Structure 1
């Protein structure tokens, strides 16, 4: 069957989905629901039937799937209504405000025998896929640390994202993606502990900076940092192993893999005089000892999410974004909030 979408919420992400979902064969948009008169008129101008009341959209028999892009605090309500109406569901991230809400949503989905997938589209980001390939294929040996950082100088958060009651803040906005990427890269490994520091730097009610340290039972410490007011950006990825170091600077995937041409124990051991004083360990490397190579190539596309959803509702594939994965990310977020409040590392999975 074709996926006939009714988009609930026609703001920034609703419009993004309107432009991208139909790139996949078997997906069409048949209706929109939006409470804002101006945005609803924009949908009408694009040729879609547009409703102000979600009940009217859910009553439309042509809609067999809803795509929920409303503010975060409304996700649970909309998912349960859609499930009770017998509609399949694509739910924007974060799926819910917490694990308890998500459990209610999954129960409603299962009771009504409909499919729900959460739009964790950044599993298909090319920079992430390159880092994941390097990790999985041991391209830089045994990895001991991973840094996933996202910095901007834009500072201010906008619209409903400014308010706690609507599920605002950057942990809900981007943290859910960055934690999901960590769990996908470390698939099969347990998170032993979560330590986090969340701050409000220039947005007073919600977090606009966070640092999260995930300690996995495979020995890897995974650092996640996001700052909306960092004025000189650090690399998007820094991954260090015992046979090389991966650096990816931006989403544009500019970067390289660094290697050493000689084993470290064969490098000269003499003391060098530097601006930091006499040192062996941090002396400049001999000429030619370090060299770089190009990043590996990967093929990836965000529309793979929609293709998987089409195949799932037609019984051809398992869904790639599974309920237990979504719930685990929400649980890690809950541990991060608790850690930041208590200034303690939170033991997670035994």
Structure 2
């Protein structure tokens, strides 16, 4: 079975799917959008287009749909597509709550169609470098991981500004950042969730959050996002008992740092610094810490569609399981509860 994709919503992400899914052998069967400007875009790009989702869902050439509509429409569109017998891919977040997701999954199971979410950030090279370090113990036993995403661009745009449409940064990027941590170490259970969520520039939706996950494997994960931090911190920091890894940006510039032989042989001594006398935090002498290159990983975002093709043709299991999507949404709900109560929420 070849994936014949209908794209519901032809904005930025809809166009991304249209341009990239064919690299995995997907046929773009049709697109739809209620906006005349986007209908014009579709026509100029050579796609068969419809003005409504119902028209697209009635097209027998479409066997799978991807929902790239505002977040509040995911549940409605998913259930409707399932009723038409279409396999369903939702953009993230798949739903606005665990309860919504359960309704969507029930509808898809009843219709006998595949249901998954486009958590494309599982194929990000920067995250996979950190995952490789965890999987292969390149840093020894990791005790902390920091995932930070900062922007100086300030204000959000369009429907992302409004609660009723599922706007805000937790729904936009928080779902990715949480999913990446849980994907990195799927066997670890979450002992507690603590969160601070703020509206720095936006009155209605969140634009800053810090979420701390304490895991039963001894790792504490710190997840921070801000649309208005003007000097960015590294995208990733991972520290273990055999080294520290810094990945500075999506461009994957950074290094692994390890203790050099010189530092191991230094005698204990107190050093005068600008902060006064100290032994533990004295400046490390030249050669005391050595740098290594980051490990290489191969990845491609369109492997998502290759996996969907494998699922539909019975060759593979879904890489992105609805149980995993539900777990991420549960963490998001616990984070909001923690921010309201100012207390850590016991989890798994």
Into which bin does the TM-score normalised by the smaller protein fall?
Answer: over 0.9
Cα deviation for residue 264 of structure 1 reads 6.4
Structure-1 residue corresponding to 2:204: 205
> 1:264/1:144 Cα in 2 relative to 1: closer, same or farther (>3 Å)?
farther
Q: In 1, are the aligned partners of 2:262 and 2:288 still within 8 Å (CA)?
A: no
Give the alignment's Cα RMSD to 1 decimal. 1.0
Cα displacement string for residues 60-117 of structure 1 (whole angstroms, at most 9, x for unaligned residues) = 0000011100000000000000001000111100000000000000000101110111
Is 2:308 aligned against 1:314? Answer: no
Structure-2 residue corresponding to 1:82: 81
Q: Distance in 1 between the 2:151 and 2:336 partners?
A: 22
SS of 1:86's equivalent in the other structure is: coil
Q: Using the TM superposition, name which of 251-260 and 53-62 deviates more.
A: 53-62
Structure-2 residue corresponding to 1:102: 101
Q: Distance in 2 between the 1:24 and 1:185 partners?
A: 24
TM alignment of 1:112-191, pairs within 5 A = 112-191=111-190
Q: Distance in 2 between the 1:321 and 1:142 partners?
A: 27
Structure-2 residue corresponding to 1:66: 65
Structure-2 residue corresponding to 1:7: 7
Cα deviation for residue 285 of structure 1 reads 1.1
Q: Distance in 1 between the 2:53 and 2:138 partners?
A: 50
Structure-2 residue corresponding to 1:45: 44
Q: Distance in 1 between the 2:293 and 2:238 partners?
A: 15
Q: Distance in 1 between the 2:315 and 2:324 partners?
A: 21
Q: Distance in 2 between the 1:267 and 1:259 partners?
A: 15
TM alignment of 1:158-307, pairs within 5 A = 158-262=157-261, 266-307=265-306
SS of 2:268's equivalent in the other structure is: coil
Q: Distance in 2 between the 1:285 and 1:96 partners?
A: 49
Q: Distance in 2 between the 1:338 and 1:120 partners?
A: 24
Cα deviation for residue 286 of structure 1 reads 2.2
Q: Distance in 2 between the 1:38 and 1:250 partners?
A: 35
Q: TM-score, normalised by structure 2?
A: 0.99
Cα deviation for residue 18 of structure 1 reads 0.8
Which structure 1 residue ranges, 5 or more long, are not aligned? none
Q: Distance in 2 between the 1:46 and 1:312 partners?
A: 29
SS of 2:175's equivalent in the other structure is: helix
Q: Distance in 1 between the 2:307 and 2:5 partners?
A: 15
Cα displacement string for residues 180-230 of structure 1 (whole angstroms, at most 9, x for unaligned residues) = 001011210100100000101011110000000000001110000001000
Structure-1 residue corresponding to 2:19: 19
Q: Distance in 2 between the 1:161 and 1:124 partners?
A: 24
Q: In 1, are the aligned partners of 2:214 and 2:221 still within 8 Å (CA)?
A: yes
Which structure 2 residue ranges, 5 or more long, are not aligned? none
Moved over 2 A (4+): 262-268
Q: Distance in 1 between the 2:250 and 2:207 partners?
A: 20
Q: Distance in 2 between the 1:266 and 1:288 partners?
A: 11
Q: Distance in 2 between the 1:264 and 1:140 partners?
A: 18
Cα deviation for residue 263 of structure 1 reads 8.6
SS of 2:112's equivalent in the other structure is: coil
Q: In 1, are the aligned partners of 2:155 and 2:227 still within 8 Å (CA)?
A: yes
Q: TM-score, normalised by structure 1?
A: 0.98
Cα displacement string for residues 151-179 of structure 1 (whole angstroms, at most 9, x for unaligned residues) = 01001000000000000000000000000
SS of 1:196's equivalent in the other structure is: strand
